[in-house]
Protein backbone atom coordinates (compact mmCIF):
# COMPACT_ATOMS: atom_id res chain seq x y z
CA UNK A 1 0.00 0.00 0.00
CA UNK A 2 1.13 3.60 -0.57
CA UNK A 3 2.75 4.84 2.62
CA UNK A 4 1.23 7.86 4.34
CA UNK A 5 3.92 10.39 5.31
CA UNK A 6 3.48 12.01 8.70
CA UNK A 7 4.48 15.46 7.39
CA UNK A 8 4.49 15.55 3.57
CA UNK A 9 6.09 18.60 1.98
CA UNK A 10 3.12 18.87 -0.37
CA UNK A 11 -0.23 17.14 -0.33
CA UNK A 12 -0.59 14.64 -3.17
CA UNK A 13 -3.57 15.46 -5.39
CA UNK A 14 -5.24 12.08 -4.81
CA UNK A 15 -5.87 9.70 -1.96
CA UNK A 16 -3.60 6.75 -1.14
CA UNK A 17 -6.39 4.43 -2.21
CA UNK A 18 -6.61 6.07 -5.61
CA UNK A 19 -2.89 5.59 -6.26
CA UNK A 20 -3.17 1.97 -5.14
CA UNK A 21 -6.08 1.43 -7.56
CA UNK A 22 -3.95 2.74 -10.41
CA UNK A 23 -0.92 0.67 -9.43
CA UNK A 24 -3.03 -2.47 -9.25
CA UNK A 25 -4.39 -1.89 -12.75
CA UNK A 26 -0.90 -1.43 -14.16
CA UNK A 27 0.39 -4.54 -12.41
CA UNK A 28 -2.46 -6.60 -13.83
CA UNK A 29 -1.57 -5.35 -17.31
CA UNK A 30 2.10 -6.14 -16.72
CA UNK A 31 1.29 -9.68 -15.65
CA UNK A 32 -0.93 -10.14 -18.71
CA UNK A 33 2.03 -9.17 -20.92
CA UNK A 34 4.55 -11.21 -18.95
CA UNK A 35 6.48 -8.09 -17.90
CA UNK A 36 8.58 -8.39 -14.73
CA UNK A 37 9.65 -4.72 -14.56
CA UNK A 38 8.19 -1.68 -16.27
CA UNK A 39 10.13 1.54 -16.91
CA UNK A 40 8.04 4.57 -17.88
CA UNK A 41 9.37 7.96 -18.98
CA UNK A 42 6.12 9.61 -20.02
CA UNK A 43 5.62 12.41 -17.43
CA UNK A 44 1.84 11.96 -17.59
CA UNK A 45 2.15 8.31 -16.67
CA UNK A 46 4.73 9.16 -14.01
CA UNK A 47 2.36 11.67 -12.43
CA UNK A 48 -0.65 9.37 -12.71
CA UNK A 49 1.13 6.57 -10.85
CA UNK A 50 3.23 8.50 -8.32
CA UNK A 51 2.01 12.12 -8.10
CA UNK A 52 5.32 13.48 -9.40
CA UNK A 53 4.85 16.97 -10.85
CA UNK A 54 7.76 19.02 -12.14
CA UNK A 55 9.11 20.62 -15.31
CA UNK A 56 11.97 18.17 -15.62
CA UNK A 57 10.94 16.07 -18.61
CA UNK A 58 13.62 17.63 -20.80
CA UNK A 59 16.17 15.31 -19.15
CA UNK A 60 16.03 11.55 -18.67
CA UNK A 61 13.78 10.51 -15.82
CA UNK A 62 11.26 7.79 -15.17
CA UNK A 63 9.51 5.43 -12.80
CA UNK A 64 10.33 1.77 -12.26
CA UNK A 65 7.16 -0.23 -11.61
CA UNK A 66 7.54 -3.58 -9.84
CA UNK A 67 5.03 -6.36 -9.32
CA UNK A 68 5.75 -6.73 -5.61
CA UNK A 69 7.00 -3.41 -4.18
CA UNK A 70 6.36 0.30 -4.39
CA UNK A 71 7.56 2.11 -7.54
CA UNK A 72 10.88 3.94 -7.63
CA UNK A 73 11.12 7.46 -9.05
CA UNK A 74 14.45 7.94 -10.87
CA UNK A 75 15.85 11.14 -12.34
CA UNK A 76 18.34 13.98 -12.21
CA UNK A 77 19.85 14.72 -8.80
CA UNK A 78 18.51 18.26 -8.57
CA UNK A 79 14.99 17.01 -9.35
CA UNK A 80 15.01 14.36 -6.62
CA UNK A 81 13.84 16.89 -4.03
CA UNK A 82 10.83 17.54 -6.26
CA UNK A 83 10.09 13.83 -6.21
CA UNK A 84 10.40 13.74 -2.42
CA UNK A 85 7.88 16.58 -2.22
CA UNK A 86 5.32 15.30 -4.73
CA UNK A 87 5.46 11.47 -4.80
CA UNK A 88 3.47 9.31 -2.40
CA UNK A 89 6.27 6.75 -2.03
CA UNK A 90 8.69 6.84 0.90
CA UNK A 91 11.90 8.78 0.35
CA UNK A 92 13.98 5.61 -0.08
CA UNK A 93 12.03 5.04 -3.30
CA UNK A 94 13.53 8.16 -4.87
CA UNK A 95 16.77 7.49 -6.80
CA UNK A 96 18.91 9.87 -8.84
CA UNK A 97 21.91 10.23 -11.11
CA UNK A 98 24.63 12.92 -10.79
CA UNK A 99 24.44 16.08 -12.86
CA UNK A 100 27.52 15.31 -14.94
CA UNK A 101 25.42 12.71 -16.79
CA UNK A 102 23.14 15.44 -18.19
CA UNK A 103 23.74 15.98 -21.92
CA UNK A 104 27.16 14.37 -21.65
CA UNK A 105 29.13 13.07 -24.64
CA UNK A 106 31.04 10.54 -22.53
CA UNK A 107 28.38 8.92 -20.34
CA UNK A 108 24.63 8.41 -20.31
CA UNK A 109 22.05 8.33 -17.49
CA UNK A 110 20.76 4.98 -18.72
CA UNK A 111 24.06 3.44 -17.64
CA UNK A 112 23.18 4.22 -14.03
CA UNK A 113 19.59 3.05 -14.49
CA UNK A 114 20.82 -0.24 -15.94
CA UNK A 115 23.20 -0.72 -13.00
CA UNK A 116 20.32 -0.18 -10.57
CA UNK A 117 18.17 -2.68 -12.49
CA UNK A 118 20.96 -5.25 -12.36
CA UNK A 119 21.60 -4.63 -8.66
CA UNK A 120 17.94 -5.28 -7.88
CA UNK A 121 18.02 -8.64 -9.67
CA UNK A 122 16.26 -7.72 -12.90
CA UNK A 123 19.24 -7.89 -15.25
CA UNK A 124 17.95 -11.03 -16.96
CA UNK A 125 14.22 -10.30 -16.66
CA UNK A 126 11.56 -9.15 -19.11
CA UNK A 127 11.55 -5.34 -18.99
CA UNK A 128 8.84 -3.19 -20.56
CA UNK A 129 9.74 0.16 -22.16
CA UNK A 130 7.65 2.96 -23.67
CA UNK A 131 9.36 2.77 -27.06
CA UNK A 132 6.94 5.05 -28.95
CA UNK A 133 7.04 8.06 -26.70
CA UNK A 134 8.15 11.68 -26.88
CA UNK A 135 10.44 11.28 -23.89
CA UNK A 136 12.33 8.06 -24.62
CA UNK A 137 15.17 8.49 -27.10
CA UNK A 138 16.79 6.03 -29.49
CA UNK A 139 20.07 6.57 -27.64
CA UNK A 140 18.41 5.67 -24.33
CA UNK A 141 17.23 2.38 -25.79
CA UNK A 142 20.61 1.56 -27.30
CA UNK A 143 22.39 2.18 -23.99
CA UNK A 144 19.94 -0.02 -22.08
CA UNK A 145 20.32 -2.73 -24.71
CA UNK A 146 24.10 -2.57 -24.35
CA UNK A 147 24.07 -2.47 -20.55
CA UNK A 148 21.42 -5.17 -20.08
CA UNK A 149 22.49 -7.86 -22.58
CA UNK A 150 20.68 -10.64 -20.72
CA UNK A 151 17.36 -8.82 -20.36
CA UNK A 152 14.44 -9.03 -22.76
CA UNK A 153 13.54 -5.43 -23.60
CA UNK A 154 9.94 -5.41 -24.81
CA UNK A 155 7.63 -2.74 -26.14
CA UNK A 156 5.18 -1.57 -23.46
CA UNK A 157 4.11 1.58 -25.29
CA UNK A 158 0.78 2.88 -23.93
CA UNK A 159 0.45 0.05 -21.40
CA UNK A 160 -0.10 2.64 -18.66
CA UNK A 161 -2.05 4.97 -20.95
CA UNK A 162 -4.72 2.32 -21.52
CA UNK A 163 -5.18 1.90 -17.77
CA UNK A 164 -5.99 5.62 -17.60
CA UNK A 165 -8.89 5.40 -20.07
CA UNK A 166 -11.68 5.14 -17.46
CA UNK A 167 -11.50 8.02 -15.02
CA UNK A 168 -12.21 7.75 -11.32
CA UNK A 169 -14.67 10.07 -9.60
CA UNK A 170 -11.69 12.00 -8.20
CA UNK A 171 -10.29 12.54 -11.69
CA UNK A 172 -13.65 13.59 -13.14
CA UNK A 173 -13.98 16.18 -10.37
CA UNK A 174 -10.66 17.70 -11.48
CA UNK A 175 -11.79 17.70 -15.12
CA UNK A 176 -14.97 19.55 -14.18
CA UNK A 177 -12.83 22.23 -12.56
CA UNK A 178 -10.74 22.43 -15.74
CA UNK A 179 -13.93 22.73 -17.81
CA UNK A 180 -15.12 25.69 -15.77
CA UNK A 181 -11.79 27.39 -16.50
CA UNK A 182 -12.25 26.62 -20.22
CA UNK A 183 -15.65 28.30 -20.17
CA UNK A 184 -14.12 31.44 -18.68
CA UNK A 185 -11.44 31.50 -21.38
CA UNK A 186 -14.01 31.22 -24.18
CA UNK A 187 -16.14 33.95 -22.61
CA UNK A 188 -13.07 36.20 -22.55
CA UNK A 189 -12.32 35.44 -26.20
CA UNK A 190 -15.83 36.20 -27.41
CA UNK A 191 -15.96 39.42 -25.40
CA UNK A 192 -12.55 40.78 -26.40
CA UNK A 193 -11.79 39.75 -29.97
CA UNK A 194 -12.36 42.81 -32.16
CA UNK A 195 -10.90 44.23 -35.38
CA UNK A 196 -7.59 45.94 -34.63
CA UNK A 197 -6.83 43.96 -31.45
CA UNK A 198 -3.45 42.23 -31.51
CA UNK A 199 -3.43 38.47 -31.35
CA UNK A 200 -0.60 38.47 -28.82
CA UNK A 201 -2.69 40.63 -26.50
CA UNK A 202 -5.59 38.18 -26.69
CA UNK A 203 -3.22 35.32 -25.95
CA UNK A 204 -1.94 37.20 -22.91
CA UNK A 205 -5.54 37.45 -21.72
CA UNK A 206 -6.15 33.76 -22.43
CA UNK A 207 -3.18 32.82 -20.28
CA UNK A 208 -4.37 35.19 -17.58
CA UNK A 209 -7.78 33.52 -17.43
CA UNK A 210 -6.24 30.05 -17.69
CA UNK A 211 -3.75 30.52 -14.86
CA UNK A 212 -5.94 32.59 -12.54
CA UNK A 213 -8.53 29.85 -12.71
CA UNK A 214 -11.93 30.23 -11.14
CA UNK A 215 -12.61 31.11 -7.51
CA UNK A 216 -10.35 28.85 -5.42
CA UNK A 217 -9.53 26.52 -8.31
CA UNK A 218 -6.22 27.83 -9.62
CA UNK A 219 -5.26 27.13 -13.20
CA UNK A 220 -2.33 25.02 -14.35
CA UNK A 221 -0.38 25.49 -17.59
CA UNK A 222 -2.00 23.58 -20.48
CA UNK A 223 -0.04 20.96 -22.40
CA UNK A 224 -0.60 22.82 -25.70
CA UNK A 225 -0.34 26.57 -26.27
CA UNK A 226 -3.39 28.49 -27.57
CA UNK A 227 -3.98 27.95 -31.29
CA UNK A 228 -5.75 30.80 -33.11
CA UNK A 229 -5.13 31.08 -36.86
CA UNK A 230 -7.34 33.44 -38.88
CA UNK A 231 -8.64 33.53 -42.42
CA UNK A 232 -6.69 31.39 -44.85
CA UNK A 233 -4.20 30.55 -42.08
CA UNK A 234 -7.03 28.65 -40.37
CA UNK A 235 -6.79 26.04 -43.12
CA UNK A 236 -3.84 24.79 -41.04
CA UNK A 237 -4.92 23.37 -37.67
CA UNK A 238 -1.80 23.95 -35.57
CA UNK A 239 -0.64 27.54 -36.08
CA UNK A 240 -0.20 29.69 -32.98
CA UNK A 241 -0.10 33.52 -32.91
CA UNK A 242 1.91 36.60 -33.80
CA UNK A 243 1.63 40.37 -33.44
CA UNK A 244 -0.88 40.91 -36.24
CA UNK A 245 -4.36 42.23 -35.50
CA UNK A 246 -7.73 40.59 -36.02
CA UNK A 247 -9.41 41.78 -39.21
CA UNK A 248 -12.98 42.14 -40.41
CA UNK A 249 -14.08 39.47 -42.87
CA UNK A 250 -12.19 36.53 -41.36
CA UNK A 251 -12.90 33.64 -39.04
CA UNK A 252 -10.52 32.71 -36.24
CA UNK A 253 -10.80 29.43 -34.40
CA UNK A 254 -9.51 29.23 -30.84
CA UNK A 255 -8.26 25.92 -29.53
CA UNK A 256 -7.70 26.19 -25.79
CA UNK A 257 -7.95 24.11 -22.64
CA UNK A 258 -8.50 24.89 -19.02
CA UNK A 259 -6.18 22.82 -16.86
CA UNK A 260 -6.46 21.95 -13.16
CA UNK A 261 -3.83 19.82 -11.39
CA UNK A 262 -2.66 18.69 -14.88
CA UNK A 263 -6.19 17.58 -15.91
CA UNK A 264 -7.43 19.17 -19.13
CA UNK A 265 -10.75 20.08 -20.70
CA UNK A 266 -9.99 21.19 -24.30
CA UNK A 267 -12.58 23.44 -25.87
CA UNK A 268 -12.73 25.11 -29.29
CA UNK A 269 -14.94 27.85 -30.64
CA UNK A 270 -14.71 30.04 -33.74
CA UNK A 271 -15.28 33.80 -34.01
CA UNK A 272 -16.11 35.56 -37.30
CA UNK A 273 -15.70 39.33 -37.49
CA UNK A 274 -18.22 40.70 -39.99
CA UNK A 275 -20.66 38.70 -42.09
CA UNK A 276 -19.67 35.08 -42.76
CA UNK A 277 -20.13 33.66 -46.26
CA UNK A 278 -23.02 31.28 -46.83
CA UNK A 279 -20.60 28.41 -47.44
CA UNK A 280 -19.29 28.77 -43.89
CA UNK A 281 -22.81 28.99 -42.50
CA UNK A 282 -23.71 25.79 -44.35
CA UNK A 283 -20.61 24.08 -42.97
CA UNK A 284 -21.49 25.30 -39.47
CA UNK A 285 -24.97 23.79 -39.72
CA UNK A 286 -23.61 20.43 -40.91
CA UNK A 287 -20.88 20.41 -38.28
CA UNK A 288 -23.26 21.16 -35.41
CA UNK A 289 -25.68 18.51 -36.67
CA UNK A 290 -22.82 16.02 -36.84
CA UNK A 291 -21.57 16.97 -33.39
CA UNK A 292 -24.98 16.45 -31.85
CA UNK A 293 -25.42 13.13 -33.64
CA UNK A 294 -21.98 12.08 -32.42
CA UNK A 295 -22.83 13.06 -28.85
CA UNK A 296 -25.95 10.92 -29.04
CA UNK A 297 -23.87 7.99 -30.33
CA UNK A 298 -21.28 8.44 -27.57
CA UNK A 299 -22.92 5.93 -25.26
CA UNK A 300 -21.51 3.16 -23.12
CA UNK A 301 -21.51 -0.05 -25.16
CA UNK A 302 -21.13 1.73 -28.48
CA UNK A 303 -17.73 2.15 -30.11
CA UNK A 304 -15.47 5.05 -31.02
CA UNK A 305 -16.32 4.24 -34.65
CA UNK A 306 -20.02 4.79 -33.92
CA UNK A 307 -19.28 8.40 -32.93
CA UNK A 308 -17.27 8.96 -36.09
CA UNK A 309 -19.98 7.39 -38.25
CA UNK A 310 -22.71 9.58 -36.76
CA UNK A 311 -20.60 12.70 -37.28
CA UNK A 312 -19.80 11.83 -40.89
CA UNK A 313 -23.37 11.50 -42.20
CA UNK A 314 -24.39 15.22 -42.04
CA UNK A 315 -20.96 16.31 -43.26
CA UNK A 316 -21.11 14.00 -46.26
CA UNK A 317 -24.61 15.27 -47.10
CA UNK A 318 -23.17 18.79 -47.12
CA UNK A 319 -20.38 17.70 -49.46
CA UNK A 320 -17.66 17.97 -46.81
CA UNK A 321 -14.98 15.29 -47.04
CA UNK A 322 -13.36 15.12 -43.62
CA UNK A 323 -10.66 12.44 -43.45
CA UNK A 324 -9.02 13.31 -40.11
CA UNK A 325 -9.88 11.59 -36.84
CA UNK A 326 -12.51 13.37 -34.79
CA UNK A 327 -11.21 13.06 -31.26
CA UNK A 328 -9.09 11.36 -28.65
CA UNK A 329 -9.04 10.61 -24.91
CA UNK A 330 -8.10 13.39 -22.49
CA UNK A 331 -7.18 13.69 -18.84
CA UNK A 332 -3.85 14.22 -17.11
CA UNK A 333 -1.13 15.41 -19.45
CA UNK A 334 2.11 17.33 -19.96
CA UNK A 335 3.53 19.08 -23.05
CA UNK A 336 3.55 18.62 -25.95
CA UNK A 337 0.11 16.97 -26.07
CA UNK A 338 -3.05 16.87 -23.98
CA UNK A 339 -4.29 13.63 -25.55
CA UNK A 340 -3.75 10.21 -23.98
CA UNK A 341 -2.63 8.53 -27.25
CA UNK A 342 -4.84 5.45 -27.14
CA UNK A 343 -8.36 5.53 -28.61
CA UNK A 344 -9.18 7.58 -31.71
CA UNK A 345 -12.65 8.66 -32.78
CA UNK A 346 -12.49 7.34 -36.32
CA UNK A 347 -14.17 4.66 -38.42
CA UNK A 348 -11.37 2.14 -37.94
CA UNK A 349 -11.42 2.20 -34.12
CA UNK A 350 -13.83 -0.32 -32.64
CA UNK A 351 -12.89 0.29 -28.99
CA UNK A 352 -16.00 -0.13 -26.83
CA UNK A 353 -16.95 2.97 -24.86
CA UNK A 354 -17.15 2.59 -21.09
CA UNK A 355 -18.63 4.85 -18.40
CA UNK A 356 -15.98 7.23 -17.11
CA UNK A 357 -14.11 7.59 -20.40
CA UNK A 358 -13.42 11.19 -21.38
CA UNK A 359 -12.71 12.53 -24.87
CA UNK A 360 -12.09 15.71 -26.77
CA UNK A 361 -14.71 15.32 -29.51
CA UNK A 362 -12.81 17.38 -32.05
CA UNK A 363 -14.23 17.41 -35.60
CA UNK A 364 -12.46 20.54 -36.85
CA UNK A 365 -12.94 21.58 -40.47
CA UNK A 366 -9.84 22.81 -42.27
CA UNK A 367 -10.82 23.82 -45.77
CA UNK A 368 -8.80 25.34 -48.60
CA UNK A 369 -8.86 28.93 -47.34
CA UNK A 370 -10.66 28.88 -43.96
CA UNK A 371 -11.12 26.80 -40.86
CA UNK A 372 -13.92 26.13 -38.38
CA UNK A 373 -13.65 24.45 -34.99
CA UNK A 374 -16.58 23.73 -32.68
CA UNK A 375 -15.68 21.00 -30.19
CA UNK A 376 -16.66 19.47 -26.87
CA UNK A 377 -14.89 17.69 -24.03
CA UNK A 378 -17.20 14.80 -23.20
CA UNK A 379 -17.77 12.20 -20.48
CA UNK A 380 -19.25 8.77 -21.26
CA UNK A 381 -22.07 8.16 -18.78
CA UNK A 382 -23.46 4.86 -17.46
CA UNK A 383 -26.66 5.53 -19.38
CA UNK A 384 -27.68 7.89 -22.13
CA UNK A 385 -25.62 10.11 -24.42
CA UNK A 386 -22.32 11.69 -23.47
CA UNK A 387 -22.19 14.65 -21.10
CA UNK A 388 -20.47 17.80 -22.33
CA UNK A 389 -18.16 19.06 -19.59
CA UNK A 390 -18.41 22.65 -20.85
CA UNK A 391 -21.64 24.55 -21.39
CA UNK A 392 -21.40 27.22 -24.05
CA UNK A 393 -23.39 27.70 -27.29
CA UNK A 394 -22.42 25.22 -29.98
CA UNK A 395 -22.16 27.67 -32.86
CA UNK A 396 -20.02 30.03 -34.91
CA UNK A 397 -19.80 33.28 -32.93
CA UNK A 398 -20.41 36.26 -35.23
CA UNK A 399 -19.45 39.80 -34.29
CA UNK A 400 -20.64 42.37 -36.84
- Segment 334-375, tens digit of pLDDT: 999 999 999 999 999 999 999 999 999 999 999 999 999 999
Share above pLDDT 90 across residues of the chain, in percent, rounded to a whole number = 96
Give tens-digit pLDDT for 31-46: 999 999 999 999 999 9
Range 126-138 average pLDDT = 97
Range 97-117 average pLDDT = 97
Q: Tell me if 355 sits within 8 A of 381, measured CB to CB.
A: yes
Range 234-241 average pLDDT = 96
Give tens-digit pLDDT for 258-292: 999 999 999 999 999 999 999 999 999 999 999 99
Q: How confident is the model at residue 10 (pLDDT cuts 50, 70, 90)?
A: low
Q: Is the pLDDT of residue 134 over 90?
A: yes
Q: Is the pLDDT of residue 253 over 80?
A: yes
Query: How many angstroms separate the CA atoms of 156 and 386, rounded?
Result: 31
Q: Is 311 left (phi over 0), alpha (psi -120 to 50) or beta?
A: alpha
Q: Is the pLDDT of residue 64 over 50?
A: yes
3-state helix, strand and coil shares in percent for the chain, rounded to the nearest 5: 35, 20, 45
Range 221-233 average pLDDT = 98
Q: Is the pLDDT of residue 5 over 60?
A: no
Q: Is the pLDDT of residue 203 over 50?
A: yes
What's the predicted TM-score (pTM) here?
Answer: 0.95
Query: How many angstroms separate the CA atoms of 241 and 175, rounded?
Result: 27
Range 286-299 average pLDDT = 98
For the chain, list the domains and their CATH numbers.
16-163 (3.40.350.10), 169-399 (3.90.230.10)
Q: Is the pLDDT of residue 143 over 80?
A: yes
Give the residue from 248, 246, 252 showing the smallest Cα distance to 231.
252
Amino acid sequence: MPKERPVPALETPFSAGEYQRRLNKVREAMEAEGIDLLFIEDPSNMAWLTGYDGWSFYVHQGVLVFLDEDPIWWGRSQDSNGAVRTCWMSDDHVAWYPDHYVQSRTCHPMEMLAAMIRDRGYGAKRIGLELENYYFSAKAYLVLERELPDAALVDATALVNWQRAVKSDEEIAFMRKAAAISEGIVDFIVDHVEPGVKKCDIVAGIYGKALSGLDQDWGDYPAIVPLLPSGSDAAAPHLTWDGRTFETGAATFFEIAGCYRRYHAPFCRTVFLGTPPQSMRDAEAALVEGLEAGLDAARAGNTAADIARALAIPLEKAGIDRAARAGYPIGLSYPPDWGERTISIRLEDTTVLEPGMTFHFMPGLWMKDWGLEITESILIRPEGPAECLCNRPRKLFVKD
